[in-house]
Structure 1
Amino acid sequence: MALKITEECINCDVCEPECPNEAIYQGEEIYEIDPSKCTECVGHYDEPQCQQVCPIDCIPLDPKHMETEEKLWEKYATLTGNPIP
């Protein structure tokens, strides 16, 4: 399942550089996450880095983009060109 940034976002700029897949970008009003690039940091870290650094906890799972861990690993492999371990 991809993550999403809610309207509580204060545009503090700390999440965007932490994303190893470059899935976070500045939207019209707040930062947004491209669900086709979000792997919840699977393959890179044990926990989503954007959630770890967000000072206001506004990055929940996105129920509109449900994915199994297997799908997240497949996405990781596609995005990085690395094999699934």
Structure 2
Amino acid sequence: MNRLHIDWTACDGRGLCVELLPELLDRDPWGYPVARDGRRDPEIPGTLRQHANTAVSLCPRLAIHTVEQDIAPIG
């Protein structure tokens, strides 16, 4: 499972990631990206993976990253 992580110490709220991932991200009142689902690191659906990779590579502050989370086995 891939998630999108925003490094709040690096982000300056330019909003390019929000423009590239409007299905996943919105802006807070100050222009900073926030996940539409309210999670800190929102899950990236397979259909948006390429768009997420583009947003990561174009972020002028290198403030967003994709992270892979392993799912723990049950039992």
TM-score, length basis structure 2? 0.54
Structure 1, 47-56 or 8-17: larger mean CA deviation: 47-56
Give 1:4's aligned amino acid: H
Higher relative contact order (CA 8 A, sep 6+): 2
| Cα distance, 1:52 vs structure 2 | 2.7
> Match for residue 5 of structure 2?
4
Q: Which runs of 5+ in 2 are unaligned?
A: none
Q: Which runs of 5+ in 1 are unaligned?
A: 69-85
For the residue of structure 1 that corresponds to 2:27, the secondary structure is strand
Task: Tell me if the contact between 2:28 and 2:34 (Cα under 8 Å) persists in the aligned partners.
Answer: yes
Give the RMSD, CA atoms, in angstroms: 3.4
Give 1:3's aligned amino acid: L
Q: How many residues are aligned here?
A: 66
| Cα distance, 1:54 vs structure 2 | 0.6
Task: Tell me if the contact between 1:2 and 1:67 (Cα under 8 Å) persists in the aligned partners.
Answer: no
